[in-house]
Copies of this chain bind each other. A is one copy, B any other.
């Protein structure tokens, strides 16, 4: 169609293309979820149904986007690993992050309505997620990224478990509980839980302690992983296989090498 004389304003648009042949990780993060969890009265320290909504949303996103090889999440965040040769949106950053942020938000609202139908959402506080993309140049940095998130999950969950037991079972005010925990290390919190509430932290559910992992089953051959230029037909076949590949849910340790050594295709 005819172009108008105002078309020149497009010259002000700027594009950021993420570096080729590097892994992209996109992390979505709940916006204002502290208030969201209060408004919709989440169970503390962990709300099983809210976790279920997060996991359904992440798994659905992985079904929609075949280039996601694995996803890891806990609390109100999820990280998605795209395969190294991923060329979705020609690696344009704005397209990638706004698509992930808005699709995850859409999934969350959708699944919330069925999983938590007793808590209808109000327009003033709908669940939304921001999203950022980071590129990592090596397998080691990718692994350390996910280790970082799992360590964070552990630290937060131990803290929250202790905090909420002090408040709910121990009858402390949130303010007092917070003060009591200042300066404590993991061993201290484990002891409080055990001595005061008879809780062995090790026996807590794995999903709380380790977070949730979705991984795509091995469908990429080493050749496909390393070949820069698959033919168009080869690429289509790969995409199809990725789309149909099984997605598994895990709640396991991803800090030790073992997890990664056993699943080399994840870093394809």
Contact = CB atoms under 8 A, between A and B. Distances in A.
A50 interface: no
Contacts of A187: none
Contacts of A2: 155, 185
A144 interface: yes
Interface stretch (A16-24, A37-45, A67-75, A233-241): A16-24
B121 A12 contact: no
A162 B186 CA distance: 58
Copies in the complex: 4
Contacts of A60: 123
Given A109-B106, A126-B106, A148-B7, A14 B99 contact: no
Interface string A5-19: 011110111101101
Interface residues of A, number: 64
Contact of A144 (B6, B93, B129, B137): B6
A173 interface: no
A135 B110 CA distance: 34
Contacts of A9: 134, 136, 141, 144-145, 148
Given A12-B136, A109-B109, A31 B99 contact: yes
A194 to B, nearest CB: 20
A245 interface: no
B97 A135 contact: no
Nearest to A101: B98
Contacts of A14: 17, 19, 134
A159 interface: yes
A131 B105 CA distance: 14
Given A98-B129, A102-B104, 14 more contacts: A1-B159, A4-B147, A4-B151, A8-B229, A14-B134, A21-B138, A94-B97, A94-B132, A97-B97, A98-B98, A98-B132, A101-B101, A101-B102, A111-B123
